[in-house]
């Protein structure tokens, strides 16, 4: 995985759960660079999605990077299971527990890329003590738990501060929530390079995925100059 390349990561929360492996394959073939996988526990966020056995079940769909976003607390008892299931990047929330360094170091010890996510209300400065332990920072532009929510525009300035804190370190800056061809240029201009898109990628059925992903990429590339 190359850092700071522009990457589009379809979020399978908006996929067809009745045919999930085939829909993941379709999103990858349609041009998704990473596959974004939202894990929710009904405790850290008010929704429940799936666990490591589903990640394992869809792993054969594509060799592309599986970007697993854990919206669960606690995280540490489950890290090894997600690594074994086929995650390539594992992201934990800074708000999910008091020992985030321990979680990030455990992810790297499992041979995986370590990400830290920030809810919209968490200041950018929360990443400052973590920069030596992360490969990715995920800025949520919705409160996590559901697809199809409205983009929280004030987070764009926070992304700019995250980019300044990251500097030239090889750390990806990912944005998730309400990403569309309209909002993608805003977050890319602020410094993001990995764009997660759920409803905007999966709308219209499989025949539309390639056009949906290309539209987000085109809009984002325009903002990179």
Binding site: what residues are annotated?
11, 36, 38, 69, 145-148, 176-178, 198-199
In the complex, the smallest distance separating the C-beta of residue 109 from ligand 5SP, rounded to whole angstroms, is 25
From the candidates 23, 33, 67, 176, give the one annotated as an active-site residue.
176
Question: Is 172 annotated as catalytic?
Answer: no
CA–CA dist 97, 130 (Å, integer):
14
Binding residues for a divalent metal cation: 36, 38, 69, 176
Judged on CB neighbours under 10 Å (0-12, 13-18, 19+), 154 is exposed
Question: Is 88 annotated as catalytic?
Answer: no
Sign of CA dihedral 90, 13, 141, 47: negative
Name which of 11 and 75 has its Cβ closer to ligand 5SP: 11
Name which of 28 and 200 has its Cβ closer to ligand 5SP: 200
CA–CA dist 111, 181 (Å, integer):
34
Q: Residue 43: phi, psi to the nearest 5? A: -130, -60
In the complex, the smallest distance separating the C-beta of residue 139 from ligand 5SP, rounded to whole angstroms, is 11
In the complex, the smallest distance separating the C-beta of residue 63 from ligand 5SP, rounded to whole angstroms, is 21
From the candidates 33, 38, 135, 172, give the one annotated as an active-site residue.
38
Judged by the rule CB under 6 A, the positions of this chain that interact with ligand 5SP are 11, 13-14, 36, 38, 69, 142, 144-149, 176-179, 196-200
For ligand 5SP, the nearest residue by Cβ is 198
**CB neighbours of 200 closer than 8 A, spacing ≥ 6?**
179, 180, 181, 212, 216
In the complex, the smallest distance separating the C-beta of residue 56 from ligand 5SP, rounded to whole angstroms, is 20
| Strand extents, DSSP E, 7-47 | 7-10, 34-40
- Residue located via tokens 């949906």: 212
Name which of 52 and 177 has its Cβ closer to ligand 5SP: 177
Name which of 41 and 135 has its Cβ closer to ligand 5SP: 41
**CB neighbours of 77 closer than 8 A, spacing ≥ 6?**
none
Name which of 102 and 152 has its Cβ closer to ligand 5SP: 152
In the complex, the smallest distance separating the C-beta of residue 185 from ligand 5SP, rounded to whole angstroms, is 16
Helices 20-29, 206-224: inter-axial angle, 10-degree rounding = 40
**CB neighbours of 63 closer than 8 A, spacing ≥ 6?**
none
Catalytic positions are 38, 176
């Amino acid at each position: 995985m190359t850092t700071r390349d522009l990457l589009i990561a379809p979020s399978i929360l908006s996929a067809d759960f009745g045919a999930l492996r085939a829909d993941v394959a379709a999103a990858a073939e349609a041009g998704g660079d990473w596959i974004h996988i939202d894990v929710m526990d009904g405790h850290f966020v008010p929704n429940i999605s799936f666990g490591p056995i589903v990640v394992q079940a869809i792993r054969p769909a594509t060799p592309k990077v599986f970007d697993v976003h854990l919206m669960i607390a606690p995280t540490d008892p489950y890290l090894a299971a997600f690594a074994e299931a086929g995650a390539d990047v594992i992201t934990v929330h800074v708000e999910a527990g008091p020992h985030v360094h321990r979680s990030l170091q455990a992810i790297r010890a499992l041979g995986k890329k370590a990400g830290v996510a920030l809810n919209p209300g968490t200041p950018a400065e929360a990443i400052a003590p973590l920069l030596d332990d992360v490969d990715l920072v995920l800025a949520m532009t919705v409160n996590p738990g559901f697809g199809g929510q409205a983009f929280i525009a004030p987070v764009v300035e926070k992304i700019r501060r995250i980019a300044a804190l990251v500097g030239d370190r090889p750390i990806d800056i990912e944005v998730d929530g309400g990403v569309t061809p309209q909002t993608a240029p805003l977050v890319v201009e602020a410094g993001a390079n990995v764009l997660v898109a759920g409803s905007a990628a999966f709308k219209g059925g499989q025949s539309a995925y390639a056009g949906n992903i290309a539209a987000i990429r085109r809009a984002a590339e325009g903002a990179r100059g």
